[in-house]
Amino acid sequence: MYVAVKGGERAIENAHRLLAHERRGHRTVPEISLVQIAEQLALAVDRVMTEGSLYDRELAALAIKQARGDMIEAIFLLRAFRATLPRFGVSVPLDTGKMQVRRRISAAFKDLPGGQVLGPTFDYTHRLLNFDLEDQSSVPPPSTSEAQDSAMPRVSDLLAADDLIEASPQADAGTPVGDLTREPLSFPAERDLRLQNLARGDEGFLLALGYSTQRGYGRTHPFAGEIRLGEVEIDFFAEDAGFAVPLGRITLTECQMINQFHGSAAVPPRFTRGYGLGFGHCERKAMSMALVDRSLRARELGEEVKAPAQDEEFVMSHSDNVQATGFVEHLKLPHYVDFQSELGLVRMMRAEFQAAQSGEPLAEAAE
Amino acid sequence: MNSDQPLLAAEGLSKFYGRRLGCRDISFELYQGEVLAIVGESGSGKTTLLQLLSMQLEASSGSVTYRMRDGVARDLASLTESERRFLFRTDWGYVHQDPAMGLRMAVSAGGNVGERLMAVGWRHYGRIRSAATDWLDRVEIDANRIDDAPRTYSGGMRQRLQIARNLVTAPRLIFMDEPTGGLDVSVQARLLDLLRRLVNELGLAAIVVTHDLAVARLLSNRIIVMKGGEAIESGLTDQVLDDPREPYTQLLVSSILPA
Amino acid sequence: MNAPVYNFAYLDEQTKRMIRRAILKAVAIPGYQVPFASREMPMPFGWGTGGVQVTASILGPDDILKVIDQGADDTTNAVSIRKFFAVTAGVRTTTSTNEATVIQTRHRIPEAPLREDQILVYQVPIPEPLRFLEPRETETRRMHALADYGLMHVKLYEDIAVHGHIATTYAYPVKVDDRYVMDPSPTPKFDNPKMSDCAALQLFGAGREKRIYAIPPFTKVVSLDFEDHPFERYRHDGECTLCGADDSFLDEVITDDRGGRMFVCSDTDFCEKRRGDAA
């Protein structure tokens, strides 16, 4: 005797408990701490902060722990938390030119003021699994030198001084900066919303798009003008005080791409720009973002729009991995009512097909 | 309906791209039932002119006036987006050189021809289908192909389908951009025949852009010859082609290879 | 770390105000998709965040909330959403359609006719009825503004030419108040007639796509069709095995691996009431 299925609530509760159990793993294994995640899986934390749009290393570490290492799940947790926070306002624009630089490279020049500073990078490591890391490893202290006080001007500013690169687009001082988390996106999108969308965008998606431009799907002829990593001061204009107060420092990765030059009969040729920025140390993201930023300017720069990376609506509608995973995974939800309707139609059409084949008249379907 | 008033009138029409000239100071009047050919080599500005006349480009100066179905002459630049779209769906047709540009390649022939009817409110499937069948017949496409998508058609068939799609709402003015371009000579001849017949039967006005003087001769009553963005000669087609005044026109006419 | 304190029904008042403004616009223009600044919610986009935001914005402490998915109160996502509101709003919840003042639903309209004092909130995945014919938002916006719906009818024409029938069985497009073409959400076309001249207010929330739309009470809603291929409701031709109803939408249940099938009412509350079970 068929009994209607019930007990969904109990099932969910038990599922939650099982999840918590699996998250903890073997009880004999020491529980991972937030500080271990923040310190030793720092790049994971950086990614979660960047795509979660919230700079808080501890919270990001908590999200990663709760998400069992699933990055998009962690990003989702951080975003949902962010949505509950009160908003005080907008900072003074950050001056990355004043960054306390820990790493700074330029592919465009052999040497430049401030020099090429390798910093902590995987770049020239040999990708050989290091079995010393299996247990507690003893890590010798890094080499040190005198702190540099010499100026480290941005490469794009150096080129701009000679008018070799287009000026950085100036925003209208009167117009408030748009906020993607407060207003729905509509197309065509202004640069502020476009950059926000890309900064929050999935690293893998942007990486693939950036890669595609290098392989000919909308070539932008990029050079890495500069990539810099370091700490930048945030200032906030306090109404009551009447002046800007420093709130603290955050770590940023910035990438300036130098792209295909443009000129015309009326205007001398100049290089064009692509820009990328992320929280913490995230070069792959910043570089991909800069490539895609430049690609999306195709229409603005009068280039033929043919490739996916140049298609503003396509890129910006699908860059948000929290939205993407929500919709992809929603297919797990019951869809049996709609499936029932489709089954009905297909069965009816099949019956008509059989009848037509055998030349029989078909009884009228009810309703 | 005052047929003594022009259907379409261009006045001092010019288009500049920065410092580059698209076309300059073009003026003419087109009456109901007249076919005007705009001929020239590539780069002459003829395509720019067609795009200006059909509201696909904005003029740098000058105007285009069109007499609507209610008899009122309207400056096209003053039309709202809604009025513009409606005009394109009902009173105007546009035949592209590449039929794929003017058709929905993955939609059946019936759907392609029926779309304009559905857009103006036809809601009876049977009637839409028979109107479509009717038109396929008139453009000499086998009615059995009504459910096939133009993806499965030959080039000539696609072009004829494009024409049917445009004519189904009885437009008064058709723009044609190299309608026989890219087709075999024998297919061209058949298509031109069809076009001439339809234009006559339906009393259409048409503006045909072509580099091919033979097409102009066959289809049009009047002709404008363009070079470097300027209209260098115009008049009755037969007169201009038989007795060209301008040296450039003479050159064009004399360089037609005999058939 | 400071743990956050949540407002009644989770959303802060500013957000609710923003959403209610969007709802008012939607009610003023029946069937028109109003963009709104959808928030990140604690459940994933695609799992009902639009419906949840609409419900959260209209819920008051005296409301009685029913949540259904596929017509059933006990499907996992309905359970999860009902629990969410029980915890964040402390409102009374019910499985009874008759008792509820706000009903949030996914993919079904209740069988029992709704009343003037009720609000039906639909969860919507893709609000744009033209989306699969024209992927560009810029273009579909224009089509709606100019009431340029030829493409929609071309699709219906093609269905008949190819299949002999209009091949859409759910999310069947409708024209609202003789003006806007609207997607009713993936409800089976069986439910379409219930939307027309309905006494209750119907609100539609799409969280991921960030749109809200509405059908005010007693509004004309017509399913698109051709005169000679009129709209037909579809339901499996049979009776509910549990309650005997022959006019409700039925779910097919596979009972064994030898082709055994059984059909039961999709609307669990309707079925239980007919059987005389208490909620």
Residues on chain C touching B104 (C-beta within 8 angstroms) = 154
Chain-centre distance for alpha carbon A183: 19
pLDDT at B2 over 80: no
Query: Annotated catalytic residue: which of C60, C90, C271, C276?
Result: C271
Here the tokens at position A168 are: 């950085």
Tell whether omega for the bond before A188 is within 30 degrees of 0, i.e. cis: yes
Residues sharing a CB contact under 8 Å with residue C62, sequence separation 6 or more, in sequence order: C91, C101
For B50, counting Cβ atoms within 10 Å of its Cβ (0-12 exposed, 13-18 middle, 19+ buried), the class is buried
Amino acid letter for position C185: S
Strand partners, A83: none
Which residue range(s) make up the domain with B57? 8-254
> Treating both helix axes as pointing N-terminal to C-terminal, what angle do B155-167 and B125-138 enclose, rounded to 10 degrees?
130
Residues on chain A touching B18 (C-beta within 8 angstroms) = 264-266
Query: Which residues 115-144 in chain B show a CB within 8 A of chain A?
Result: none
- C154: nearest CB among B111, B146, B147: B111
Amino acid letter for position C237: D
Q: Which of B51, B148, B146, B162 is nearest to B99 (CA)?
A: B162
Q: For chain B, list the contacting chains (3+ Cβ pairs, <8 Å).
A: A, C
- The pTM of the full predicted model, rounded to 2 decimals, is 0.84
Residue C6 forms contact with A (CB below 8 Å): yes
- Mean pLDDT of all residues in chain B? 91
The rounded distance, in Å, linking the Cα atoms of A247 and A245 is 6
Asked if residue B186 belongs to a domain, the reply is yes
Asked if residue B1 belongs to a domain, the reply is no
Q: Which of C72, C96, C71, C68 is nearest to C82 (CA)?
A: C68
| Tens digits of residue pLDDT in C53-98 | 999 999 999 999 999 999 999 998 999 999 999 999 999 999 999 9
pLDDT of residue A367: 36
Query: How far C179 CA lies from chain A's nearest CA (Å)?
Result: 23
Asked if residue B144 belongs to a domain, the reply is yes
Asked if residues B41 and C106 have their Cβ atoms less than 8 Å apart, the reply is no
Asked if residues B128 and B114 have their Cβ atoms less than 8 Å apart, the reply is yes
For residues A145 and C28, which has the higher predicted lDDT (pLDDT)? Answer: C28
Are the beta carbons of B110 and C226 separated by less than 8 Å? no
Task: Give the containing element (helix H, strand E) for A231.
Answer: strand A223-238
Task: Give the containing element (helix H, strand E) for C139.
Answer: helix C137-145
Interface test with C, best of B82, B103, B116, B123 (most C CBs within 10 A): B123
- Name the 3-class secondary structure at C144: helix
Count of the separate structural domains present in chain B: 1
% pLDDT > 90, chain C = 80
Query: Which residues 174-203 in chain C show a CB within 8 A of chain B?
Result: none
Query: Annotated catalytic residue: which of C31, C50, C51, C205?
Result: C31
Q: Known catalytic residue: C271?
A: yes
For residue A245, CA distances in Å to A91, A93, A174, A238, A249 come to 10, 13, 22, 7, 12
Locate the DSSP E strands across C112-160.
119-123
Are the beta carbons of B125 and C158 separated by less than 8 Å? no
Asked if residues C148 and B85 have their Cβ atoms less than 8 Å apart, the reply is yes
Query: Which residues 261-300 in chain A show a CB within 8 A of chain B?
Result: 264-266
Q: Known catalytic residue: C260?
A: no
Residue C144 forms contact with A (CB below 8 Å): no
Residues sharing a CB contact under 8 Å with residue C93, sequence separation 6 or more, in sequence order: C64, C65, C66, C67, C82, C85, C86
- A337: nearest CB among C40, C44, C107: C107
Residues sharing a CB contact under 8 Å with residue A130, sequence separation 6 or more, in sequence order: none
Q: Known catalytic residue: C71?
A: no
Q: For chain A, list the contacting chains (3+ Cβ pairs, <8 Å).
A: B, C
For residue C147, CA distances in Å to A104, B78, B111, B136, C28 come to 55, 20, 19, 28, 17
Residues on chain A touching C210 (C-beta within 8 angstroms) = 184-185
- Name the 3-class secondary structure at A110: coil
pLDDT of residue C279: 41
For residues A359 and C193, which has the higher predicted lDDT (pLDDT)? Answer: C193
Say which CATH number the domain at B188 has: 3.40.50.300
ipTM over cut 0.95? no
pLDDT of residue B1: 46
The rounded distance, in Å, linking the Cα atoms of C112 and C179 is 28
pLDDT of residue B20: 84
For C201, counting Cβ atoms within 10 Å of its Cβ (0-12 exposed, 13-18 middle, 19+ buried), the class is buried
pLDDT of residue B259: 47
Asked if residue B2 belongs to a domain, the reply is no
pLDDT of residue A364: 52
A–C interface: beta-carbon pairs under 8 A: 157
- Name the 3-class secondary structure at B108: coil
Q: How many Cβ atoms from other residues are within 10 Å of residue A141's Cβ? A: 5
- Mean pLDDT of all residues in chain C? 93
Residues on chain A touching C76 (C-beta within 8 angstroms) = 8, 11-12, 334
Asked if residues B13 and B59 have their Cβ atoms less than 8 Å apart, the reply is yes
Asked if residue B202 belongs to a domain, the reply is yes
Residues on chain B touching A264 (C-beta within 8 angstroms) = 18
Burial C14-48 (b: 16+ CB within 10 A, else e): ebbebbeebbebbbebbbbbbbbbbbbbbbbbbbb
Q: What's the DSSP call for residue B172?
A: S
pLDDT of residue B29: 95
Are the beta carbons of B107 and C158 separated by less than 8 Å? yes
Asked if residue B3 belongs to a domain, the reply is no
B–C interface: beta-carbon pairs under 8 A: 54
Here the tokens at position B112 are: 């392609």
Residue in chain C lying closest to B146 (CA):
C161
Query: Which residues 3-32 in chain B show a CB within 8 A of chain A?
Result: 18-19
Asked if residue B63 belongs to a domain, the reply is yes
| Phi, psi of C105, deg, nearest 5 | -135, 150
Asked if residues B103 and B112 have their Cβ atoms less than 8 Å apart, the reply is yes
Residue in chain B lying closest to C144 (CA):
B82
Task: Give the containing element (helix H, strand E) for B163.
Answer: helix B155-167
Residue in chain A lying closest to C75 (CA):
A8
Asked if residue B43 belongs to a domain, the reply is yes
Question: What is the mean pLDDT of the segment spanning B164-173?
Answer: 93
Q: Which of B52, B62, B65 is nearest to B175 (CA)?
A: B52
Q: What is the pLDDT along chain A (367 residues), one digit of tens a residue?
A: 555 566 788 888 999 999 999 999 999 999 999 999 999 999 999 999 999 999 999 999 999 999 999 999 999 999 999 988 888 888 999 999 999 999 999 999 998 888 899 999 999 888 989 888 888 878 889 988 887 777 789 999 999 999 999 988 777 878 888 899 888 888 889 889 999 999 999 999 999 999 999 998 988 889 999 999 999 999 998 888 889 999 999 999 999 999 988 777 678 889 999 999 999 999 999 999 999 999 999 988 888 889 999 999 999 999 999 999 999 999 999 999 999 999 999 999 999 999 988 876 655 544 3
pLDDT bucket at B98, cuts 50 / 70 / 90: very high
Query: How far C3 CA lies from chain A's nearest CA (Å)?
Result: 10
Residue C154 forms contact with A (CB below 8 Å): no
pLDDT at B107 over 80: yes
- Residue reference for tokens 């009720």: C118
Q: Which of C9, C34, C21 is nearest to C206 (CA)?
A: C34
Q: How many Cβ atoms from other residues are within 10 Å of residue A142's Cβ? A: 6
What DSSP letter does each residue of A300-331 carry, written as one string? TTT----SGGG-HHHHHHH--HHHHHHHHHGG
